Amino acid sequence: MTTPRTATGPAVPRKRRGGRPGGGELLAAAVGAVPGGAARPGQQQMAEAIERSIASGEHLLVQAGTGTGKSLAYLAPALTVDGPVVVSTATLALQSQLVDHDLPRLADAVEPVLGRRPTFAVLKGRHHYLCLARLDNSVEEEPEDTLFDAPRPGGGTKWLGEAGRLGKQMQRLRDWAEKTATGDRDELDPGVDDQVWRSASMPARECVGATRCPFGQECFAEASRARAREADIVVTNHSLLAVDMLAGRHIVPPHKLLVVDEAHELADRVSSAAQAELEPQLIDRSARRARPLLRPELAERLTEAGDALAVGLAEAPAGRLTAGLPPALREACTLLDAATRAALESIGDIKADDPDPVRKQQAKAALDELSTTAQRLLEEADHDVAWVEKPENGSRRALVVAPLSVAGTLATHLYDERTVVATSATLALGGRFDTVARALGLDAPPPAPPSPAAAALATAAAAGRAGTTPPVASADGSRAATGTVPATEGPGWTSLDVGSPFDYARQGILYVAAHLPRPSVSGLPEAAGEELLALVGALGGRTLGLFSSRRAAQQAAELLRARTDLPVLLQGEESLPLLVRRFREERESCLFGVMSLWQGVDVPGDSCQLVVIDRLPFPRPDEPLAAARAAAVDAGGGSGFAAVSVPIAAVRLAQGVGRLIRATGDRGVVAVLDSRLETARGYGPFLRRSLPPFWYTTRPDVARGALERLGKS
């Protein structure tokens, strides 16, 4: 376990000269400005706890359920801090919600109280902005590198049509470049294909820097950074935060308070940012870019290294490389390391009078990255995991390397200079904060074993009130346990669960089909299919099906299409936003899909009154990072399954289950067709304690009865 750093000093609250408002007053103003807005206890509790953290410098983990209004709960106290505050999100959806909705509303509301209008800015990665230098020379790019010759199976007439379509998009992009004030891709409507955008944007590592760039003065990415440096609140994303932290890029302005929203995603995003890979196509592209700057034999060495990698990847089976690099892949990495070093040495430094510094920097950056990755793979360090990726559709093959853990990285880089508030609806796993705290690099004490009485109480609270009369049907007036999790503390940090404004025990049922056999390895077993049909039939559609495999989702869709008249929407058959819109609007429809639906669907109201989960979402054996992390715990004498796989399943399950109740008027049933949630003695209670406190049952007749009544209401 890494030692956490305590903050060097608290984020300094703005002095309250002349009765300057505090966070509570600002929150009250913001809430009061919303028509019908009312104070929410959880929101106030969260805002107060954040004010205390700002004052003390103690880091804070806050679990805040859906509907708490957590963005205002952290934005209001953030305005009391001197100097910029950074808010980081995992998803674009939340970033947009903050920038387009919450922050403008907050600024309007607090301006009279604060005596000035607070400012905010959004900060994204460089590749999100139009690059004028790239746009300027995209017409001159070498033929293989342009969007007009990407290989397409079938080619011919179809390809000419494709080229025309992409060419039109490129022209639209050029026209937009004349008008846009920000160059932000998200403001381009309609958007363009990724391939087109790549031709007009610049990855950070390839940017030559504003001082050397002929377009440095007009650069959109540079302008966004300048705006961020002046703003009170800067909204960014976990990936950019991670890159900034790992590479010391100093893109994010110095700040004393960092709010990490969707914090359950942070460790994974940091891990992705620290991941690197080698692909034959990548080497080929880099070789073509560098060729004009190299002697032919040096360019040829790069091509040979790419060919060697293609051979090594063809020979190696997909999956984790548990016994080190196979000889062919080691040979390819060695060739690549030597070839890239020789090429970089030959190209040399970029000089002030270089005729084309942008293109030279692009070539150098690509070679440098290949060289670093090859060396990292050859090193085979204990703290790294390597694997071969070969998707079933054969789209690409790659040799990938990622860190075994990022807890140490976060401990070293995240907490020193700032106070961190991490928040999410899913931070307490198994009824405690320590698992997530450790993943985030905080020093967390091991849990004390609960007394039998405490364990029984906790399980009952997690499960709601098991019984025979479901609240959805009976309007039973009594309330279940609130389900809030007690605080956990460690050196320099504390935690808080503010619960949820939803009355889960009255609004929803968690039904576990405990009578079903254990789920099979893949696909949807017949008994689970029949159970699904009975549940969906009882309600009459309105079902979100979250499946653990594409095959299971397909089988479920086929079953319903064959045996019912309900409209069934299947992920992959149309774009996801379109499917979600149809699911929301077509009241009887069912939407079935895999992992991206577990977090990405927000459908309040009666279009989604049944959420079905086919099996507990443990990581699959072919998820190399999870497997390597579990193996490392096993090798240290612990249980990798308990320490790695169960927490991953807990976060995923809580996210999936959380799709059901999105508003105070929502009611419905979550049905888990995996009996282990009830029968597994070890992890079953842990997983149930990680979920909102629904009313709990294992009786199919009770679940179906409740659904029938909902269907008629």
Minimum distance from CB of 214 to ligand SF4 (Å)? 7
Write a three-state SS string for 377-435: HHHCCCCEEEEEECCCCCCCCEEEEEECCCHHHHHHHCCCCCEEEEEECCCCECCECHH
Does residue 628 sit in helix, strand or coil?
Answer: helix
Minimum distance from CB of 106 to ligand SF4 (Å)? 31
Judged by CB under 6 A, does residue 291 bind ligand SF4?
A: no
Of these, 110, 133, 321, 427, which contacts ligand SF4 (CB under 6 A)? 133
Per CB under 6 A, which region of 81-89, 129-137, 515-523, 627-635 contacts ligand SF4?
Answer: 129-137
User: Which of 267/365 has CB closer to ligand SF4?
Assistant: 365
Does residue 130 sit in helix, strand or coil?
Answer: strand
User: Which of 55/210 has CB closer to ligand SF4?
Assistant: 210
Judged by CB under 6 A, does residue 126 bind ligand SF4?
A: yes
Judged by CB under 6 A, does residue 200 bind ligand SF4?
A: no
Minimum distance from CB of 369 to ligand SF4 (Å)? 17
> In angstroms, what CA-CA distances link 277 with 203, 386, 712?
16, 9, 54
Query: What mask of x and - would describe binding to ligand SF4 in positions 650 to 689, judged by CB under 6 A?
Result: ----------------------------------------
User: Which of 4/357 has CB closer to ligand SF4?
Assistant: 357
Does residue 88 sit in helix, strand or coil?
Answer: strand
Minimum distance from CB of 252 to ligand SF4 (Å)? 17
Minimum distance from CB of 209 to ligand SF4 (Å)? 6
Are 330 and 386 in contact by the 8 Å Cβ rule? The answer is no
Backbone angles phi, psi at 214, to 5 degrees: -65, -20
Of these, 12, 55, 177, 210, which contacts ligand SF4 (CB under 6 A)? 210
User: Which of 210/514 has CB closer to ligand SF4?
Assistant: 210
User: Which of 200/513 has CB closer to ligand SF4?
Assistant: 200
Distance between CA 399 and CA 276 in Å, rounded?
Answer: 9
Per CB under 6 A, which region of 127-135, 261-269, 385-393, 573-581 contacts ligand SF4?
Answer: 127-135
Minimum distance from CB of 129 to ligand SF4 (Å)? 7
User: Which of 54/365 has CB closer to ligand SF4?
Assistant: 365
Per CB under 6 A, which region of 96-104, 212-220, 605-613, 617-625 contacts ligand SF4?
Answer: 212-220
Judged by CB under 6 A, does residue 213 bind ligand SF4?
A: yes
Are 452 and 91 in contact by the 8 Å Cβ rule? The answer is no
Minimum distance from CB of 552 to ligand SF4 (Å)? 44
Query: What mask of x and - would describe binding to ligand SF4 in positions 154 to 193, judged by CB under 6 A?
Result: ----------------------------------------
Site for ligand SF4 in 683-712 (CB under 6 A): none
* 512 closest CA partner among 563, 465, 546, 463: 463
Of these, 215, 276, 304, 631, which contacts ligand SF4 (CB under 6 A)? 215
Judged by CB under 6 A, does residue 219 bind ligand SF4?
A: yes
The two three-digit tokens of residue 52, written as one number: 């205390």
Minimum distance from CB of 210 to ligand SF4 (Å)? 5
Minimum distance from CB of 291 to ligand SF4 (Å)? 21
> In angstroms, what CA-CA distances link 672 with 174, 423, 706?
51, 27, 15
Minimum distance from CB of 98 to ligand SF4 (Å)? 25
Judged by CB under 6 A, does residue 354 bind ligand SF4?
A: no
Phi-psi region of 515 (alpha: psi -120 to 50; beta: other; left: phi over 0): alpha
Judged by CB under 6 A, does residue 208 bind ligand SF4?
A: yes
Of these, 54, 221, 266, 302, which contacts ligand SF4 (CB under 6 A)? 221
User: Which of 132/625 has CB closer to ligand SF4?
Assistant: 132
The count of chain residues that interact with ligand SF4, using the rule CB under 6 A, is 16
Distance between CA 436 and CA 433 in Å, rounded?
Answer: 6
* 589 closest CA partner among 626, 622, 541, 653: 541
* 73 closest CA partner among 100, 97, 106, 101: 106
Judged by CB under 6 A, does residue 128 bind ligand SF4?
A: no
Phi-psi region of 167 (alpha: psi -120 to 50; beta: other; left: phi over 0): alpha
Backbone angles phi, psi at 421, to 5 degrees: -110, 115
Give ∠ CA 298-303-308 in degrees, rounded to 5: 125
Are 374 and 278 in contact by the 8 Å Cβ rule? The answer is yes
Q: Which helix (H) or strand (E) holds 97?
A: none
The two three-digit tokens of residue 374, written as one number: 């090859």
Judged by CB under 6 A, does residue 124 bind ligand SF4?
A: no
Q: What angle, 0 to 180 degrees and rounded to 10, lies between the N-to-C axes of helices 327-347 and 357-379?
A: 150
* 228 closest CA partner among 123, 109, 108, 385: 123
* 568 closest CA partner among 537, 536, 541, 590: 590
Per CB under 6 A, which region of 30-38, 200-208, 339-347, 381-389 contacts ligand SF4?
Answer: 200-208
Per CB under 6 A, which region of 211-219, 402-410, 524-532, 700-708 contacts ligand SF4?
Answer: 211-219
b/e 522-559 (16+ beta carbons within 10 angstroms → b): ebbbeebbebbbebbbbbbbbbbbbbbbbebbbbbbeb
Per CB under 6 A, which region of 20-28, 209-217, 473-481, 585-593 contacts ligand SF4?
Answer: 209-217
Judged by CB under 6 A, does residue 123 bind ligand SF4?
A: no
Judged by CB under 6 A, does residue 240 bind ligand SF4?
A: no
- Order of strands, edge to edge, in the sheet holding 508-512? 568-570, 590-593, 543-546, 610-613, 668-672, 508-512, 695-697
Per CB under 6 A, which region of 91-99, 218-226, 404-412, 554-562 contacts ligand SF4?
Answer: 218-226
Residue with tokens 């419905």: 668
Per CB under 6 A, which region of 168-176, 204-212, 651-659, 702-710 contacts ligand SF4?
Answer: 204-212
Per CB under 6 A, which region of 162-170, 213-221, 253-261, 272-280 contacts ligand SF4?
Answer: 213-221
The two three-digit tokens of residue 379, written as one number: 């090193």
Judged by CB under 6 A, does residue 132 bind ligand SF4?
A: yes
> In angstroms, what CA-CA distances link 617 with 167, 296, 358, 468, 613?
43, 52, 46, 28, 9
Q: Which helix (H) or strand (E) holds 439?
A: helix 434-439
Minimum distance from CB of 239 to ligand SF4 (Å)? 17
Distance between CA 267 and CA 271 in Å, rounded?
Answer: 6
Judged by CB under 6 A, does residue 358 bind ligand SF4?
A: yes
Residues binding ligand SF4 (CB under 6 A): 126, 131-134, 202, 207-208, 210, 213, 215-216, 219, 221-222, 358
